[in-house]
Amino acid sequence: MMRINKYLAECGVCSRREADKYIEQGKVKVNQKIAVSGMQVSEQDVVEVFGKVIEPKNRKIVLAYYKPIGVTCTEKDAHADKTIIQALNYPVRLTYAGRLDKDSEGLIIMTNDGDLIQNMMKGANGHEKEYMVKVNKEITKEFLEKMSQGVYLKELDQKTRPCKLEQIGKFTFRIILTQGLNRQIRRMCQEFGYKVTSLRRDRVVNVELKGLRSGQFRELQGEELAQLYELCGMK
């Protein structure tokens, strides 16, 4: 058991001082009753703030989130039009596992499980990430072959790992990477005189974007979640 303001702070909802204000304003409920300052709660209690149920602090949450174009992958940035934390607006504090640049859209895994993030982000693990890419001029066989062999990126002084590509349309291709360098696909295309006009991430490891629209999310559960942990070496 702990005081309600400390509980809300540890769940990542707000500071203790902010929690006290919300309680005074009648914005906090415990088991559907208005909370009072100083009351004790536990993880078995159903706590709500502004009508949203707060998840117990120890429960691991993993979301598949469709990041819209224009949202910046950062937790705090005074210069960002909208951060991913603001866009998601989830009641529990979550962090992203792998970035997408502001001009790109698609799947991002959001979680409060730091170990999962670490295992997903470790480049040596070679977890697959799949993207749908559209470029500004017609795709050639030579372009696909050279991209798949790995590309030396002058700006990063690094060669990318070999990857899988499949042409989908005249200007569109699918690419599967096992690393996540900064703006990697855009830089790779640029080396061959192509400019990316749209980029969407459709899959991370075994988790797919299917069924989600821009700005939507779903919580991973059951076999899908178990398989993600297993593939990340956390069975």
Cβ count near 138 (within 10 Å): 10
110: Cα separation from own chain's centroid: 4
- Domain architecture of the chain: domains with CATH: 2-53 (3.10.290.10), 62-123+207-231 (3.30.70.580), 128-204 (3.30.2350.10)
How far is the C-alpha of 73 from the C-alpha of 136, rounded, in Å?
Answer: 25
Q: Out of 101, 103, 113, 202, which one is annotated catalytic?
A: 101
Query: What percentage of the chain reaches a pLDDT higher than 70?
Result: 98
Q: What is the pLDDT of residues 79-136, one digit of tens each?
A: 778 999 999 999 788 889 989 999 999 999 999 888 899 899 887 778 999 999 999 9
Query: Between β-strands 196-204 and 152-153, what pairing exists: parallel, antiparallel or unpaired?
Result: unpaired
Residue 1 has pLDDT above 90, yes or no: no
Q: What is the pLDDT of residues 128-149, one digit of tens each?
A: 999 999 999 999 999 999 999 9
Residue 77 has pLDDT above 80, yes or no: no
| Active-site residue, 81 included | no
